[in-house]
Chain A
Amino acid sequence: MIRIQARTEPSTFMSFASPLLAITFTLIFGFVLFTTLGKDPLQAMHLLLIAPLSDSYNIGEMFVKMGPLLLCAVGLSLCYRANMWNIGAEGQLLAGALGGSAVALYFIDSDSFIALPLTLLAGIISGMAWAALPTFLKLRFNSNLILTTIMFNYIALYLLIWAVNGPLRDPDGFGFPESAIFSDNTLLPTLLDSGRIHLGVLFAIICALIAWFILSKTHLGFQIRVFGADEPAARYAGFKGKNISWFVMLFAGALAGLAGVGEVTGPIGQLVPNVSPGYGYSAIIVAYLARLHPLGAIVAAVFLAVLYMGGDLAQIEMGIPIAVIGMFQGVLLFFLLACDFFIRNRLTFTHQNAA
């Protein structure tokens, strides 16, 4: 007979094992799904997980996708640690892309050395501004952060679509909803001779390190953690909740904005309507998978980037709709939440006895 028993202390082992277990279950789920759909499961799994890491070009592309995922996830980790349910990374990323593009287009004929720093700064500030709005509404008017950040995602999306159809449209672009291609002067330099790995990827890793340092070494990081773990205790201790909320939200907004401007000045090179294939939402999964730990987020972001890459490959080679990636992400989060149950509980096997 199997019984569920609460553990007296949460299991450290399970809190590390749970994400791995969740990934395993997700793969099993995928295996079954592809088999029932009549697709070769081994080929599909190979394309999803192995092929993206099989040659240097693919690895490079994988890192290009990891950059924005990691940036958004690191910011979200800090927010969630402080119990700020920011679902708005997607909108903040789009705002960053939009703001950065406006400045990049202003410098389209200039060869000034400040063009790139100003473009990046504009992206960061736009992301922060987009995070600041819902933060202000929450702190001043007590409005629900989850809902406002989501609404601002939609608003950012339509704002961006409006911009590429209007003020930022390439006048020589035959009416396509796209901006002009940025000048080299406002593009992020690539790190290697071949491939598209750019400076933004390095930024992402540095940001993860900074966030880790803040959380574990500083008094501010401690206050953030207390706020998330036990808000009454934080208020009792006299920590300034508003300042902490502002800090994590602006930090997350800045990082998401950087991710957005990094996309348009990096791999894309112009402003297009579909800047992000949902990086801001996937970053939520990355943050969770990494247990809201900024360094863990590096590993988790790599995993999701592989999945993104694999999704592209599977679509091209096997005709599997790209939407399968979104579904896998949801399944992964389900399994993670389910496996987390065993951090605080365990199964005990007892011999059959009629109690």
Chain B
Amino acid sequence: MDADLIVQILFAAIKTGTPLLFIALGEVICEKSGILNLGQEGMMLMGAVVGFLAAYSTGNAGFGVLGAIAMGSVMSLIFAVLVLQLGANQVATGLALTIFGTGLSAFIGSGVVGQTIQGFQPIAIPYLSDIPYLGRILFNHDIIVYLSFVLTGVIAYVANKTRIGLVLKAVGENPHAANAIGIKVLRVRYLAIMFGGGMAGLAGAYMSLVYTPMWVENMTAGRGWIALALVVFASWRIGNIMLGAYLFGFASIMHLVLQGIGWSISPNLLAMLPYVATVVVMVIISADQFKEKLLAPRSLGKPFDPRQMA
């Protein structure tokens, strides 16, 4: 295996990991506020189809991205109302969101299956892209990938260094205590959920506008679920999420690597790799129950109703 191939593989790992990075960043903020949203897959698919439709009809991929983000937020708002306002079970509501999004996206996208559009083109960043090896791996991407770099930094800063992050952590650990000291728990959670939705929409747009610039039913192929595992893998830390996303991206393009070494395995078996990798990773990280309990937001998945404070 030569250096050129390694550079190509690492470049592809980043590209493949980017949608995972977006959803996982959204989900980690949502989970830090104590809400488990299993609807990632549905929101992402809706983002993908709406993003594609918007770009297809306007001819502008930028509108596609905005449309996808808006769509993801709207989808998550349904979830938020059910879970926060009506006290519905988070697991069931998240599943419903995924089933709904899968069906609706296939429904509204049925007219444009197989159409192609002009997606985002790679932009080589001057000077930086000339760094040997590293330049080609990191600084020869499209604008959305650069956006993911920036967003990761911003989110890490906000979550760890600002009062917003402190409030988020407090709400996720103990919503009753947060309510008692006057933090608007539901408002924080609404915003966190909708942020997660927007990010899932953005991830979807990346799939249908950049990664494979077209719309196919179910094109996200379980990435929404893998991202949920990624959050646990990263122990709810932003930096780890970025690393994890690229590792998963790497697992998804493993077949390239194996072909590079000269192995020949059925592509259908290789297609299982990301899912098998997810299971393996989850087994390894969850085995230490003590640690997971320590790191997970304490109120994750538990309902909170401010009216029931007797």
Contacts and interface: CB of A to CB of B under 8 A. Distances in A.
Interface stretch (B9-17, B92-100, B141-149): B92-100
A141 B96 contact: no
B92 A333 contact: yes
A327 interface: yes
A152 interface: yes
Interface in A305-355: 321, 323-331, 333-334, 337-338, 340-341, 344
B102 A326 contact: yes
Contacts of B307: 6
A329 B289 CA distance: 36
Interface string B99-114: 1111111110010000
Nearest to A154: B275
A271 interface: no
Contact of B286 (A143, A151, A154): A143
A185 interface: no
B95 A334 contact: no
B229 to A, nearest CB: 5
A150 interface: yes
Interface string B197-234: 00000000000000000000100011001001100100
Given A158-B272, A284-B95, A326-B102, A148 B279 contact: yes
Given A323-B217, A330-B101, A341-B88, A162 B269 contact: yes
A166 interface: yes
B89 interface: yes
Most buried by B among A148, A151, A321, A338: A151
A144 B82 contact: no
A341 B284 CA distance: 38
A161 interface: yes
Contacts of A6: 307-308
The interface size bin for chain B is 35 or more
B260 to A, nearest CB: 21
The interface size bin for chain A is 35 or more
Nearest to A344: B87
Given A166-B266, A324-B107, A337 B88 contact: yes
Nearest to B284: A141
B287 A142 contact: yes
Contact of A330 (B87, B104, B276): B104
A279 interface: no
Most buried by A among B266, B268, B292: B268
Interface string A52-91: 0000000000000000000000000000000001010000
A330 B103 contact: yes
B100 A144 contact: no
A326 B86 contact: no
A143 B222 contact: no
A137 interface: yes
B107 A147 contact: no
A142 B289 contact: yes
Interface string A150-174: 1110110011011001100000000
B282 interface: yes
B103 A325 contact: yes
A323 B279 contact: no
B82 A338 contact: yes
A182 interface: no
B268 A143 contact: no
Given A142-B292, A321-B107, A152 B99 contact: no
Given A146-B38, A154-B272, A338 B103 contact: no
Interface in B256-287: 266, 268-269, 271-272, 275-276, 278-279, 282-283, 286-287
Contacts of B283: 137, 141, 143
A227 interface: no
Nearest to A332: B96
B91 interface: yes
Contact of A144 (B96, B229, B269, B308): B229
A285 interface: yes
B180 interface: no
A26 B95 CA distance: 17
A333 B96 contact: yes
Most buried by B among A141, A150, A281: A150
Given A326-B102, A337-B92, A152 B279 contact: yes
A288 interface: yes
Contacts of A326: 99-100, 102-104, 106-107
A327 B107 CA distance: 8
Contact of B278 (A151, A328, A331): A151
B88 A155 contact: no
B278 A147 contact: yes
Contact of B106 (A159, A161, A321, A331): A321
Interface string B23-57: 00000000000000010001000000000000000
10 contacts: A144-B229, A144-B232, A150-B225, A155-B272, A161-B268, A327-B103, A329-B100, A333-B92, A337-B96, A340-B86
Closest 10 CB pairs of A and B: A330-B100, A326-B103, A323-B106, A327-B103, A333-B96, A162-B268, A337-B88, A341-B86, A330-B99, A321-B110
Given A158-B271, A334-B78, 18 more contacts: A137-B279, A137-B282, A142-B286, A142-B292, A143-B286, A148-B282, A155-B279, A158-B269, A166-B268, A284-B99, A321-B106, A326-B99, A326-B106, A327-B100, A333-B99, A337-B88, A338-B86, A338-B88
